[in-house]
Amino acid sequence: MSLLTLAEIIIMAMASSMVVAAKDWIESTANYHTKKARNYDIKCFFSFLKEDVGEIPSYKELKRLHLEKWLDAQIEVGSASSTIQRRLANITSFLNILSRKEKSPSPAVGVMFSTEQSPPRWLSRSELEEFREALYLSGKTEEKRIRNIAIVETFLSTGLRVAELKKLRRKQLDTSKWALLNVWCKGRKIRDFYLNKTAKKALGEYLKLREEKLHNIKGRDGEFPLFVSIWNGETSFFGEKTLWRIVHSIGKDAGLDISPHNLRHTFIKNIERKYGIAIAQKAAGHSSTNMTLRYSQATEGEIKRAVNIMNIEGGKSE
């Protein structure tokens, strides 16, 4: 199935109000990667409607059956489970917005995609040890090593997403509480994050280095990025790709293929393992328990250990 551009769709749909609303919704998305995903997912959906129905219906003409047929088509062509989940989530979010505007039930209500999925990829205890060994040896200079440690330990202590960490300013780090305050998070939430002892130590060392770097830079330090990049006397935030490369490079040195999001998964899994789903959900900032429940799925190793323990205990009771 060939994908239509939004411009082509608008022309073919004769400026359907639903298509125009989709364009506005996509354009209002702040995050580049989210905007790109929404644009592609909505194009896929509209292209399917054009092919299946012959036209893109108005919102009032759109039925739950249309979404169910689209879902069946996604499964039939072998789209990955994670891709289907993302596309359905984006389509549902868009239709929910239209539902509120039109003051009528969304056709997406009750449309669900359920499949047994593998749990998120977090680092095991041994992998985390190997990763940290590589971390503390990373960086071509001592300055970069200290910076890398501060960035990674902040990820591991808070579970922040890349887009959230990169926007941090110095004034948001309260060293009296050792907390990151008023952090803008996914879903337009504002949250506070508390730092563990390892992150406190790493950030303490980094702040000394940062102060030296910014000594001759004019401006209010509190407004400067917490993790600051300096080029030709100008300060800037690290980009998402730069942060991704730092983590991926360290992982590669440890023989691991990981990204910053794996560090978030590791943070959530460790909280879930020690304190349970309820605390993990709060710490992760998940709006739904279903999201956090993915971290409670047992690995093959955990199942094997449980069976062995059961066998031993069974032997004793006989």
Q: What is the mean pLDDT of residues 140-164?
A: 95
* The Cα angle at residue 172 between residues 168 and 177, in degrees rounded to 5: 130
Which secondary-structure segment (H or E) carries 18? helix 17-27
Neighbours of 116 (CB within 10 A): 6
> Phi/psi of residue 217, each to 5°?
-95, 130
Is the same domain home to 23 and 135? no
Backbone region of residue 205 per phi and psi (left: phi > 0; alpha: psi in -120 to 50; beta: other values): alpha
* The Cα angle at residue 203 between residues 244 and 197, in degrees rounded to 5: 105
Q: Look over the chain and give the mean of its residue pLDDT values, rounded to a whole number.
A: 85
Contact partners, residue 77, CB within 8 Å, separation at least 6? none
The pLDDT > 90 percentage for the chain reads: 44
Residue 315, in any domain of the structure: no
pLDDT the model gives residue 317: 42
Cα gap 149→184, rounded to integer Å = 23
Give the SS3 label for residue 4.
coil
Q: What is the mean pLDDT of residues 16-30?
A: 85
Cα gap 306→298, rounded to integer Å = 10
Of 226, 246, 237, 239, the residue nearest 135 (C-alpha): 246
Is the same domain home to 148 and 218? yes
CATH of the domain at 48: 1.10.150
Residue 305, in any domain of the structure: no
Residue 234, in any domain of the structure: yes
Residue 96, domain extent: 6-102
Q: 197-252, pLDDT tens digit by residue?
A: 999 999 999 999 998 888 777 777 778 999 998 887 788 899 888 999 999 999 99
The number of distinct structural domains making up the chain is: 2
Is the same domain home to 93 and 157? no
Q: Which of 102, 136, 170 is the last residue of a domain?
A: 102
Is the same domain home to 73 and 172? no
Strands (E) located in 78-177: 173-174
Indicate the burial class of 250 (C-beta count within 10 angstroms; 0-12, 13-18, 19 or more): buried
pTM: 0.63
Is the same domain home to 161 and 35? no
Cα gap 236→221, rounded to integer Å = 12
Q: What is the mean pLDDT of residues 94-123?
A: 81
Is the same domain home to 24 and 166? no
CATH of the domain at 259: 1.10.443.10
Residue 253, in any domain of the structure: yes
Scan for tokens 């200079």, then name that residue.
141
Is the same domain home to 132 and 88? no
Cα 264 to its chain centre, rounded Å, is: 8
Cα gap 240→36, rounded to integer Å = 15
